[in-house]
Structure 1
Amino acid sequence: MAERKGPFRLVTVNTAPERAKRLIGRLIEALKDRYDIDYIANCENIAEVVPKVTEHQPNVLFCASMWTPEEAEEIQALARSIIPGIKTHAIPTGLQVERGPDAIVEYLIEKVPILLDS
C-alpha cells in the first residue's frame, strides 16, 4: 500500500459552515487511506479569509460553489498573498444548487488527489 500523504491543513470558504463541515468530513473519510487531511477552519465570508489563513496557516484552501468565479479568484489571491505556496481550488459555481451535496463530494473525490499530488 502506498504511503499516506500529508498532513494537509484545510480551510474552506463557505457561507454554510455546517454543510461545509459535513461535506469535507465525507471527503476526508473517502480519501483517508491515501491522504491525511485535517479540516481546521471555515471562513463564512471573504473578510474572514486573511485573518483565518494568517491564524491557521493552512496549506490547502477550497472555495465553495456559492462564490462567483470573480469572488473565488479574489479569495484564492488573498490566501496566496499570505501563503504563496498554498494549494487552492474553487468548486464550480452553482454545482451544489444544480446537483446537490453528493455531486460536490464526488467532484472533490475526483479533483482533490490531483491537487494534493501537484
Structure 2
Amino acid sequence: MQNTPKGPYKLVTLNTAPDRAKRLIGRMVDGLKDRYTIEHVANCEKMEEVEPKVREYRPHLLFSASMWSPEQAEKIKGVAEGERPGIVTHAIPQGLQVEKGPDAVVEYLMENVPLLLDSVEL
C-alpha cells in the first residue's frame, strides 16, 4: 500500500473569478491530499494569459472553469498543448457553477481529478 501522496503536480486554472478558483481548488487539494500533492501555481483570468502562464510555470495540468464554452475549452486546450506538449487539460462542464453551485464543482473535481492525475507523467 502506498503511503506517500503522488506528486507534486502543478496546476494552472483559467477562471474569471480568481478568488473562487483559489477557494474551490483549495478544497479539492485538501480533499485529495492523502493521495496526491497538487500545487495550484497560477490562475489565468483571460484566455490570452494561458500561453505565457503555461510557459512560465510548466504545469502538469490546466483546468478551465465552467464559464467557458466547449468551443472555448478546445481552443484553450490547443494553446496549452502547443506550449507544453503532454499537459493534461480538463474543462469543468459549462454552467456547473451557475446551475449547481460551488459544492457541485468541488464534488465533480474530487470524482474526476484522480483519473486525470493517474494519467500524468511526472
Structure 2-normalised TM-score? 0.95
2:80 aligns with: 79
1:116 aligns with: 117
SS in 1 for 2:101: helix
Q: Which contiguous aligned blocks of 4+ residues in structure 1 show a shift greater than 2 angstroms?
A: none
1 CA distance for matches of 2:53 and 2:35?
27
Query: Alpha-carbon deviations, 1:67-101, whole Å to 9, x = none?
Result: 00000111111000011100111000000000000
Matched, 1:7 2:8: yes
2 CA distance for matches of 1:87 and 1:33?
21
2 CA distance for matches of 1:50 and 1:97?
27
Unaligned runs of 5+ in 2: none
Structure 1 residue 4 displacement after superposition: 1.2
SS in 2 for 1:88: strand
Unaligned runs of 5+ in 1: none
% identical aligned pairs: 64
Matched, 1:19 2:24: no
Pairwise CA RMSD of aligned residues?
0.7
Structure 1-normalised TM-score? 0.98
